[in-house]
């Protein structure tokens, strides 16, 4: 059984391991489970189970909600999310 320092257990929803946080940052940047697995050197099944643990800890039902809740709780910051090129252009600019 893992024992966490008291400061980390005051709000258990905010305690993610560093590897869980890495996976969540990649998910927040739109990476698929396969891409997260490649980036972290894990199997896709491991990423799936890691994402399930993250969702359970944050008490959410999907990865989009996990990112939103993690941002709100301060587990992730806006600096963790990259803005893709052209994201600020309107759809008419592409025509």
* Residue 92 counted as domain residue: no
- 1 vs 49, residue with greater confidence: 49
pLDDT > 90? residue 86: no
Q: Report pLDDT for 10.
A: 54
For 61-79, what is each residue's pLDDT tens digit? 999 999 999 999 999 999 9
* Residue 46 counted as domain residue: yes
Q: Is the pTM of this model over 0.85?
A: no
Distance of CA 41 to the CA centre of its chain: 16
Question: Residues near 84 by Cβ (< 8 Å), separated by ≥ 6?
Answer: 30
Q: What CATH number did the domain enclosing 36 receive?
A: 1.10.10.10
pLDDT > 60? residue 51: yes
Length, in residues, of the chain: 95
Number of folded domains that form the chain: 1
- Can you give the residue range of the structural domain that contains 20? 8-79
Band the pLDDT of 22: cuts 50, 70, 90.
very high
């Amino acid at each position: 059984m893992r024992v966490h320092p008291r400061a980390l257990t005051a709000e258990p929803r905010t305690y993610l391991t560093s590897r869980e946080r890495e996976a969540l940052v990649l998910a927040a940047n739109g990476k698929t489970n396969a891409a997260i697995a490649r980036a972290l050197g894990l199997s896709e099944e491991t990423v799936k189970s890691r994402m399930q643990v993250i969702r359970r800890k944050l008490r959410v039902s999907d990865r989009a909600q996990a990112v939103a809740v993690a941002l709100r709780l301060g587990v992730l910051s806006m600096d963790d999310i990259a803005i893709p090129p052209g994201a600020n252009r309107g759809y008419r600019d592409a025509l």
